[in-house]
Amino acid sequence: MTNAVTLEMSGSHIAIITLNRPEAANSFSHQLMDDLEAVIHEVKQNDAIRCVIITGSGEKAFCAGADLKERSTMTQQQVVQTVHRIGEVVNKVESLPCPVIAGINGAAFGGGLELALSCDIRYASETSKMGLTEVSLGIIPGAGGTQRLPRLIGLGKAKELIFSAKRIDANEALSLGLVEQVVPQQTLIEHAIQQAERIAANAPIALKQAKQAIQQGYQVDLQSGLSFEWMCYQTTIPTNDRLEGLKAFKEKRTPDYKGE
């Protein structure tokens, strides 16, 4: 049986996770969730990985959300359990300690957009479309969309998109701040890898601490956030990487970070 999610490495420090159900718009089946959880666990155990890219197979879909064909056979309780599980998988993506880039190569609706929202950075192809369209199906976003989208683009715009179930194109997503950049379809993954290489060239402990400081600090008041930032900063002080960074700067060369 073909894996519903694949994992490959680009160089020594970049992991590329691909949702691999193009025949079903890379939607969240139980098999895909099983495979994605396994891949996330594998990535989390590999200290050499400094940046992750998540994308979809093919050119039509990043992830179309829940597998509605599979869902049509479920009881109400099974639907509730499945949506809760999608949310848990999305949370696991967000909790990866290293930076995560979403390469939105096509449609990202419902849970698919919620998956992209759990990533740190989003790049979209020119042909991609996205939206939290759940209310048009008689439900609401249930895998973090009502919480992450307002934090990203603001309360009013998020309410407008969610209440209207509007589907937007890549350029509108860019104007809203939903994605960081729009690039041609054929160069999307190349662009994501280039940005991942730029990220991965930096000190891995510092990357993890910077992500922690941003993620945790964004949820609290400014003074609490500043205190958390200081805690994360102090974690970097005793590292060999910090000393290597200073030494490389003095010697006018590229630092060789080891993550220690």
Contact by Cβ (8 Å): 27, 74: no
* pLDDT tens figures, 140-150: 999 999 999 99
φ/ψ of residue 23, rounded to 5: -70, -20
Q: In this predicted structure, what is the pLDDT of residue 119?
A: 98
Domain 204-251: which CATH number of 1.10.3470, 1.10.12, 1.10.1060, 1.10.287:
1.10.12
Strand partners, 51: 14
Cα(260)–Cα(9) distance, rounded to whole angstroms?
A: 21
Q: Which residues contact 208 (CB under 8 A, 6 or more apart)?
A: 97, 98
Residue 1 has pLDDT above 60, yes or no: no
Closest CA to 258 of 193, 188, 201, 186: 201
pLDDT > 70: what percent of the chain? 99
The distance in angstroms from the start CA to the end CA of the chain is: 39
φ/ψ of residue 10, rounded to 5: -110, 105
Cα(168)–Cα(174) distance, rounded to whole angstroms?
A: 10
Give the mean pLDDT of 68-82.
82
> Known catalytic residues?
66, 111, 114, 134
Question: Which three-class secondary structure string do you get for the chain?
Answer: CCCCEEEEEECCCEEEEEECCHHHCCCECHHHHHHHHHHHHHHHHCCCCCEEEEEECCCCEEECCECHHHHCCCCHHHHHHHHHHHHHHHHHHHCCCCCEEEEECCEEECHHHHHHHCCCEEEEECCCEEECCHHHHCCCCCCCHHHHHHHHHCHHHHHHHHHHCCCEEHHHHHHHCCCCEEECHHHHHHHHHHHHHHHHCCCHHHHHHHHHHHHHHCCCCHHHHHHHHHHHHHHHCCCHHHHHHHHHHHHCCCCCCCCC
Domain extent listing, the chain: 5-200, 204-251
Cα(154)–Cα(118) distance, rounded to whole angstroms?
A: 16
- What pTM does this model have? 0.93
Q: In this predicted structure, what is the pLDDT of residue 217?
A: 92
- Number of Cβ within 10 Å of residue 152's Cβ equals 15
Q: In this predicted structure, what is the pLDDT of residue 73?
A: 82
Q: In this predicted structure, what is the pLDDT of residue 69?
A: 77
Q: In this predicted structure, what is the pLDDT of residue 79?
A: 85
* pLDDT tens figures, 29-46: 999 999 999 999 999 999
* pLDDT tens figures, 222-256: 999 999 999 999 999 999 999 989 999 999 999 99
Q: In this predicted structure, what is the pLDDT of residue 92?
A: 96
Token pair for residue 235? 């974690």
Topology (CATH level 3) of domain 5-200? 2-enoyl-CoA Hydratase; Chain A, domain 1 (3.90.226)
